[in-house]
Amino acid sequence: MKNKPISNNNKIKFYHKLINNEVIYSKNSINRYDKMNSKSGNSLNNKVEELEKLRKKINSIKNCELKKSANNIVFSDGNLNSKIMIIGEGPGANEDKEGKPFVGRAGKLLDKMLESIKLHRKNVYITNVVNFRPPMNRRPTDEEIKRYLPFLTRHIELINPKVLLLLGSTALNAVIGDEMVISKARGRWERKKIGNIVTNAIASFHPAFLMRQPDQKKYAWEDLKMVRKKILDLKINLNVE
Ligand code: URA
């Protein structure tokens, strides 16, 4: 049997492995061995890989009523390097069709809410408590929420947000606690350990609820201002790649 020719790049990788060197391989002729940047480069690659692993794991869930009737997994949208993470309840019809969270009417309102505090999707990372559309847009059951919670926890660990905005009672109850009522718990910062990270969590009303109850928007506005202030206080960089 003929041996496969070894590419130059693979040879270099092999020899550097032998001497246990950390290098980054790039097609660019300069900075081929960028030891200074190798750490951040590696951790970004790891994050992308780990997120993809998580997506695949969720997508291979068995015997799930949500997945059975859904067209697409709805994993996330936004910037995976953002330190601001937003969690909704679960995909609706438009999200199920496009495979992206918050693209329907509630999503348009969410975009406006973000804009009101000078944010855009490219500055935040968005996901949901469950990743498949519940049939007839029903609320996910407690069992379903429990089943998806380890995925959500891992998702939060991977993004490692400094600010976590929970939209609506499903996200509030899944992440902070079952006993909380959104009308009472909203608009309060909570230092919260989630998996192996600690973050600043705040709950607010879900945009779909605000469309039904527009008089409650004034409270959502108070919450959004708190988010803006936290971003400034923590000096969160919004212009992440
Ligand atoms: N409502 C949610 O909670 N999530 C979406 O992605 C869309 C609507």
Q: pLDDT tens-digit profile of 96-121?
A: 999 999 999 999 999 999 999 999 99
Query: What is the pTM for the complete model shown?
Result: 0.84
Q: Which tokens hold the place of 173?
A: 């109850």
CATH number given to 8-233: 3.40.470.10
**Which ligand 1 atom sits nearest the alpha carbon of residue 100?**
6
Q: pLDDT tens-digit profile of 23-76?
A: 334 344 444 444 444 456 678 889 999 999 999 999 999 999 999 999 999 999
What distance lies between CA 213 and its chain's CA centroid?
27
- CB within 8 A of 17, min separation 6: which ones? none
The alpha carbon torsion through 228, 229, 233, 235 (nearest 10 deg) reads 20
Q: Which residue has the CA at smallest separation from atom 7 of ligand 1?
A: 102
The rounded distance, in Å, linking the Cα atoms of 62 and 164 is 29
Strand 77-78 to 125-128 pairing: antiparallel
Residues in the chain, overall count: 241
Residue identified by tokens 């040879």 is: 11
DSSP state letter for 108: H
Give the start-to-end residue ranges of the domains of the chain.
Answer: 8-233
| Amino acid, res. 99 | G
Ligand 1 center–CA 55 separation, angstroms: 17
Protein residues with CB under 6 Å of any ligand 1 atom? 88-92, 95, 101-102, 106-107, 128, 208
